[in-house]
Amino acid sequence: MIERDTIPLVDLSAQYQSIKGEILSALSAALDGMNLFLGENVKLFEQEFAEYCGTGHCVGVGSGTDALILALRACGVGPGDEVITVANTFIATVEAIHAVGARPVLVDVDPDTCTLDPTQIEARITSNTRAIVPVHLFGRLADLTSIVDVARRHSLVVVEDACQAHGASEGGRRAGSFGDVGCFSFYFSKNLGAYGEAGAVVTDNPEIAKRVALLRNHGSPSKYQHSVLGVNSRLDELQAAVLRVKLRHLDRWNEQRRAHAATYNRLLGGLELRLPDIPNDSSHVFHLYVVRSDRRDALRVALQAEGVAIGVHYPIPVHLQPAWTAHGYETVSLPVTEALAREILSFPLYPEMTTGQIERVCACVARALASADGRDEQLDDGADLATSSGTD
Ligand SMILES: Cc1ncc(COP(=O)(O)O)c(C=O)c1O
């Protein structure tokens, strides 16, 4: 028997219920203190998140997009500069580069990791290139060893877009600590999400940290003094209070995400799908569980009809978006990125998901693929999967 309840892509309520007491008492203390302007929670969160990422500094800002913009500005990237990045990302990565007056130079991604292919960087470096922005997409670290190596050889700045990879680590180092600066989003569905907009910049470089801190607060070193042109992008005190609570759970939640990804891979094993590879270390924290299928659209429709929410991250690569084609990107060709946009689909994944829910998604996938093929045998396998015992 198949349950008919819908399975969401992310269930934020389930997580909230599990930490409700801690959240409400943190918010209540913050409101009792009423120190809402870069208050105690912002300062403590900045210390705690810097320590978590293994960097000397963290500056809380208003969003992940602002983190990227302010980090690029603090690194001196501006008009006339070129910044190498990927088109296989959320649009904010390239918007931030454009916002500082620089030009995004788009390169293709590795088909296995879906992240920036380091072998493509050198051919695109010109005398105007100032920075590389690798994106740790879906929670998977980009190949930072190779990327940082190319950057150092050409004196380029590395700004990590770690907005989807809180806590991902390799060789004892965490996302955000490999390049010159790391940028995080705490958008509510991220692995570490606030209950509103929030972001942060982490770095070991005290000068970069100082400049971001100035820029996020109207360029103001002290009240009503403005030494540079800045913006208002301060981290909100209440969001910082929420983030401090959630940070304590992040490693456990990331482990649950990795375990769920392993369950998916085990149950989907024999099917005609390209599954994500699960590294042995924590270099992938599965912000999203993304598979590839050449029958993506049919599969998506079938799963949604069974009450399984499905995402596509992302259906149109940056260079093919109407906002960008007009800016000289119409001739850009990125075959791997374009194939991914046609084939990828994201299955529900969140720490509180039950094995029973994962089994149900996998059963639906088996059925959908079998009916697309007209192969009745697989239908039976799907039914077995649907009724096999779960832990919930
Ligand atoms: C890869 C990537 N970069 C940048 C951002 C922008 O973050 P925010 O939405 O907090 O501005 C996001 C968030 O969705 C993202 O996924």
Residue listed under structure tokens 């800016």 = 327
Which atom of ligand 1 lies at the shortest distance from residue 63's CA? 10
| Tens-digit pLDDT profile for residues 143-179 | 999 999 999 999 999 999 999 999 999 999 999 999 9
Rounded Cα–Cα distance for residues 292 and 272 (Å) = 9
pLDDT at 5: 84
Tell me the CA–centroid distance for residue 200 and ligand 1, in Å.
11
The answer to whether residues 319 and 85 touch, using CB atoms and an 8 Å cutoff, is no
| Ligand 1 atom showing the smallest separation from residue 197 Cα | 10
- Judged against a pLDDT cut of 80, whether residue 3 lies above it is answered with no
Q: How many residues are there in the chain?
A: 392
> Rounded to the nearest whole angstrom, what is the distance from the C-alpha of residue 352 to the centroid of ligand 1?
23
C-alpha of residue 163 to centroid of ligand 1, in Å:
5
Using an 8 Å Cβ cutoff, are 37 and 144 in contact? no
Listed in sequence order, the DSSP H helices in the chain are 12-33, 40-53, 64-74, 92-99, 144-153, 206-216, 237-247, 250-268, 296-305, 322-324, 335-343, 355-373, 376-387
Q: What is the pLDDT of residue 380?
A: 41
Residue 4 has a pLDDT of: 58
Q: How far is the CA of 61 from the centre of ligand 1 (A)?
A: 13
Contact yes or no for 162/176 (Cβ under 8 A):
yes
Atom of ligand 1 nearest to the CA of 198: 10
Contact 344, 296 (CB under 8 A): yes
Residue 233 phi, psi dihedral angles, 5° rounding: -145, 50
Residue 159 CA to ligand 1 centre (angstroms): 14
Q: Could you tell me if residue 147 is left (phi over 0), alpha (psi between -120 and 50 degrees) or otherwise beta?
A: alpha
Judged against a pLDDT cut of 60, whether residue 217 lies above it is answered with yes
Residue 361 and residue 356: Cα distance in Å, rounded? 9
DSSP conformation class of 329: I
Six-digit token pair at 188? Answer: 């509510």
Does the pLDDT value for residue 344 go beyond 70? yes
Average pLDDT over residues 215-219: 98
pLDDT band at 390 (very low <50, low <70, confident <90, very high): very low
Residue 83: closest CA among 142, 154, 18, 29: 154
**Ligand 1 pocket, Cβ-based, cut-off 6 angstroms:** 63-65, 89-90, 92-93, 135, 161, 163-164, 185, 187, 199
- Give the Å distance between the CA of 297 and the centre of ligand 1: 25
Confidence of residue 312 (pLDDT cuts 50, 70, 90): very high
Q: Closest ligand 1 atom, CA of 137?
A: 1
State the average pLDDT for the chain. 94
**CA 143–ligand 1 middle distance (angstroms):** 20
Phi/psi region, residue 106 (left: phi>0; alpha: psi -120 to 50; beta: rest), is: beta
3-state secondary structure of 279: coil
- pLDDT of 10-58, one tens digit each? 999 999 999 999 999 999 999 999 999 999 999 999 999 999 999 999 9
Arithmetic mean of pLDDT, 283-298: 97
At 383 the pLDDT is 36
Query: Residue 14, exposed/middle/buried by CB under 10 A (0-12, 13-18, 19+)?
Result: middle
As a whole number, mean pLDDT of residues 208-218 equals 98
Rounded to 5 degrees, φ, ψ at 200 are -155, 155
All residues at 6 or more sequence positions from 223 whose CB lies less than 8 Å from its CB, including other chains = none
Phi-psi region of 328 (alpha: psi -120 to 50; beta: other; left: phi over 0): left
**Residue of 9, 10, 65 to mutate, ligand 1, most atoms within 8 A of C-beta:** 65
* pLDDT for position 330: 86
Instruction: Give the number of the atom of ligand 1 that is nearest the alpha carbon of residue 136.
Output: 1
State the distance from the centre of ligand 1 to the C-alpha of 79, rounded, in angstroms: 22
* Best CA proximity match to 127, nearest among 101, 152, 155: 155
What are 299-310's pLDDT values in tens digits?
A: 999 999 999 999
CA-nearest residue, atom 8 of ligand 1: 64
| Mean pLDDT score, 337-348 | 98
Phi, psi (5° rounding) for residue 130?
Answer: -115, -30
Atom of ligand 1 nearest to the CA of 164: 16
Q: What is the pLDDT of residues 226-240, one digit of tens each?
A: 999 999 999 999 999
Probe ligand 1: pick from 164, 186, 235, 236, max atoms within 8 Å of CB? 164
Between CA 307 and CA 199, with CA 252 as vertex, the angle to 5 degrees is: 80
Q: What is the pLDDT of residue 106?
A: 98
Which is it for strands 157-161 and 129-132: parallel, antiparallel or unpaired?
parallel
Residue 279: CA count within 13 A, CB half-sphere: 17
CA distance 260 to 206: 38
CA gap 58, 30 in Å, rounded: 20
Task: Look at residue 328 in the predicted model and tell me its pLDDT.
Answer: 87
Q: 373 C-alpha vs ligand 1 centroid, how far in Å?
A: 37
Over residues 187-203, mean pLDDT: 98
